[in-house]
Amino acid sequence: MEAVSQLVQHFRREMSKVVVGQEELKTQGLIALLCQGHALLEGVPGIAKTLAVKTLSHLLGLDFQRLQCTSDLMPADIIGTNVLNLADSTFQLHPGPVFTHLLLVDEVNRMPPRTQAALLECMEERQVTIDGTRHALSPFFTVFATQNPVDFEGTYPLPEAQLDRFLVKIRVLYPEASEEVQLLSNVQNGFDSHDLDSAGLSPIDPELLKQSRQEVRTVKVQESLFTYVVQLVRRTRTWPALSLGASPRAAVNLMVFSKALAAVDGREYIIPDDVKQAALPVLRHRIVLKPEADLEGITPDQVLQDVLRAVEVPR
């Protein structure tokens, strides 16, 4: 895990110069890139969601685009369209913001269903279809979508099919008091979140990301852990508090995320604790609570903790 170790050490050192705290956001965001998956970030405004993604792209030298979602956003606004060139009477492609490496989709639940469907092909196939012609997206193409857990006015809840395309759902919480003090100190000393060039960041060679992805694929998984992952996922389908359990795609993503956690920890094999650590971020957005459970204030994380306790851990 030499490449992964170098990548993680460099990433954590440089990210700490810009984003104070938010270790879960930083680590799981990097793992989403290592696993070639997409991440859904849930948190209130002003807690460094956008800044973390921008810094990630800046460090890795990847292109970055930000898409602000509104209720009148059309599919062509995100994937692009063919425009007639009057000079030679030919159509030319004007690519949309999805033709990038890292795409930040801000307030994704304000996007109307028709436009969400257009984004679905980009996320699953890493391609777009415009006027019947398919256009490939970058192999680094990754969606970081944000949503506000408080404001639901004028929003369109994401369908289960789209939620299942996100590798991970990251809950971004308020920083600790000491971290907020450090943030104020950084700003007082001249830090400007709008000028990352002046932050003194040392870039990461993009080739290191490619090598790290290859190393993650080589992480070994024992037969008993295949069974453990499947038992966890299948248990959610019969859990009394849930009306919808996790899909087979969830089992695949749970294993892939666990392999990345092991690689980040410097191991060439996964252990049950990796699966336990991966369970909440990978499964919390793929299960649906029954109405009565929701009314009682039960959360998806609480249900998943109960499921983890109910399934026997392999030795």
Return the pLDDT at 152. Answer: 66
How far is residue 209's CA from residue 43's CA, in Å, rounded to a whole number? 27
- Phi, psi (deg, nearest 5) at residue 90: -120, 155
**237 and 152 Cβ atoms separated by less than 8 Å:** no
* Domain, as residue range, for 292: 219-310
Tracing tokens 């499921």 back to the chain, one arrives at 307
CATH number of the domain within which 303 lies: 1.10.8.80
* Residue 84, in any domain of the structure: yes
Q: How far is CA 87 from CA 83, 92, 93, 134, in A?
A: 12, 11, 15, 25
Let me know whether 150 and 260 are in one domain.
no
* Residue 168, in any domain of the structure: yes
* Residue 165, in any domain of the structure: yes
Let me know whether 22 and 147 are in one domain.
yes
Let me know whether 185 and 249 are in one domain.
no
Tracing tokens 């680094």 back to the chain, one arrives at 140
Number of domains making up the chain: 2
Return the pLDDT at 315. Answer: 79
- Please count the other Cβ atoms lying within 10 Å of the Cβ belonging to residue 66: 15
* Residue 49, in any domain of the structure: yes
Task: Tell if the pTM clears 0.85, that is, is over it.
Answer: yes
Return the pLDDT at 286. Answer: 93
Q: Provide the residue-wise pLDDT of the chain in tens; the chain has 315 residues.
A: 788 999 999 998 888 888 888 888 989 999 999 999 999 999 888 888 888 999 999 888 889 999 998 888 888 889 888 887 877 878 888 888 999 999 999 988 888 888 888 888 888 888 888 888 888 898 889 999 998 877 666 677 788 888 889 999 999 989 899 989 999 998 898 888 888 888 788 888 888 889 999 999 999 999 999 999 999 999 999 999 999 999 999 999 999 999 999 999 999 999 999 999 999 999 999 999 999 998 898 999 999 999 999 999 987
Residue 217's identity, in one-letter code, is: R
Let me know whether 146 and 265 are in one domain.
no
Let me know whether 292 and 159 are in one domain.
no
**98 and 73 Cβ atoms separated by less than 8 Å:** no
Let me know whether 89 and 17 are in one domain.
yes
Alpha helices in the chain (DSSP H): 2-15, 23-34, 49-60, 75-79, 113-125, 160-163, 177-188, 206-217, 223-237, 248-264, 272-283, 291-295, 300-310
Closest CA to 305 of 288, 281, 315: 281
Task: List the structure tokens of 224.
Answer: 């008993």
Return the pLDDT at 195. Answer: 83
How far is residue 84's CA from residue 93's CA, in Å, rounded to a whole number? 9
Residue 164's identity, in one-letter code, is: D
Let me know whether 154 and 258 are in one domain.
no
Q: Of the residues 159, 177, 212, which one is the last residue of a structural domain?
A: 212
**270 and 228 Cβ atoms separated by less than 8 Å:** no
Let me know whether 225 and 88 are in one domain.
no
Let me know whether 49 and 144 are in one domain.
yes
**143 and 39 Cβ atoms separated by less than 8 Å:** yes
Closest CA to 253 of 167, 191, 149, 173: 167
